[in-house]
Structure 1
């Protein structure tokens, strides 16, 4: 049963590599924006997060990480579990049956694998790993996403119905483009090589609640 989300706060870093949108926080932010949910975005520096983490551990939280959200003071951690909680509470952005939910779980795992390879390449400081990501991993990721999006008629993984996985896809593409291609560029791909990804990006950018909210100023 859908419930109204109230008193929600999203916690993440002030910046990642000089960007306000880079990293895992924006997966959740875009989903909240699209849903029209009122929320407070709490930005923490690294030092502030270290102090907050100690505080959360002292409160009994098992493995606090950012991003996380609070709803009425209750804490929810880890990007994908947070997105699933939001989807369930809103009664949208999720699968309509066990088969669809399983498929979304599988897709989200694949995108998480891409995120891990991207993060290791960008933040690991190993030039060989970065080279392998640029030459092999990112191309494989775009091919996989293009296949996912080709299975149903419509721009999203389930056709016309957007799910939490679509927010993962868009922001992963956006992070990849900003770090590998051009820091000032928005998400984009070659429409001849990845036609389904290109159509998806265009549809996502033009969602009513996301126009003007894609990039934080």
Structure 2
């Protein structure tokens, strides 16, 4: 089956907004055909909602990375944005499993997060979650600032009642790192941020942003 990214509109200062509903690997192929090489980040999805273009759910480009006994790490530039890794993750999810890679990847992301501890959350490449399991994110928390960046305050004011539910993920192995995707649910469902989904094989939606002048 062939999937095509559909243009929605343009957001000033962000770019042309596209969307496509497909398995992740096919989604990335469809976006690549129009010059987009990653899913939209959560802060970009937030901006799309704030501009009134769409309030739909979206997969995003942030990856939660977990290992058994360790804290989950959020990685801004997900390795699953690579088509080969995406295909492997799609296959794992289709078999009811999470995608796993070497624990060295977790250790590298952990070291990077620790080295960036003095940087404001919105400018970091990685962030170690302060808690495990489910979290009620509030506007001042580092996790929220990391995920929503400059859209944080406006998004909370317009679309939340002061909290965003965050569903964490637990690593299943001490020797392998679980790498997944961050799901950004619709405002009517509380704008939930979910790390534990296993639906990359299914035809769910994601937004993509084509920067102005880039194809």
| TM-score over 0.5 for the pair | no
Instruction: Give 1 or 2: higher strand fraction.
Output: 2
Q: Which has the higher contact order (CA 8 A, sep 6+)?
A: 2
Instruction: Give 1 or 2: higher helix fraction.
Output: 1
Q: Which has the larger radius of gyration?
A: 1
User: TM-score normalized by structure 1?
Assistant: 0.31
